[in-house]
Amino acid sequence: MDVQALFDKLRIDLADLGVAETRDDQGVRSLTREGVPFARLGPDERMAFRAVGGGAVRAHADELVTAQDHGDWVVVSADDVSQWEVLARKALVMV
C-alpha cells in the first residue's frame, strides 16, 4: 500500500474545499485549510487527524482498533486507511 499516493488522492479530492498541502522542516506532510493543519502523514505511515474538542473525529476514531489519542490529535495506522478520508473530512469541518 502506497500511503504517499493515498495522501495525494486525499489532497486532490479535498482541493475544492480549500485544502492545500504543506511540509514541515522534517518533511512531514500536512493537509491544511487557511493555514490550519487538520491531517498529517507521519514518517511511520500513520495519519494524524486534528480532534480539538473531541467531536466527530474522536467518536469515529474510537471505533477503530488502531486509533491512538495524542492530545488534540488522533493517530490512525495504515491498517485503517479505508477510514482516512472520512476522518479527514470530519477534521476539516472543525477548521
The DSSP result for 58-77, as a single string, is: HHHHTT-TT-EEETTEEEE-
88 falls in which pLDDT band (50, 70, 90)?
very high
Dist CA 24 CA 46 (whole Å): 16
Predicted confidence at residue 54, as pLDDT, reads 66
Mean pLDDT of the chain: 90
> What mean pLDDT do residues 34-47 have?
93
Question: Is residue 19's pLDDT more than 70?
Answer: yes
**pTM to 2 decimal places:** 0.89
Predicted confidence at residue 1, as pLDDT, reads 66
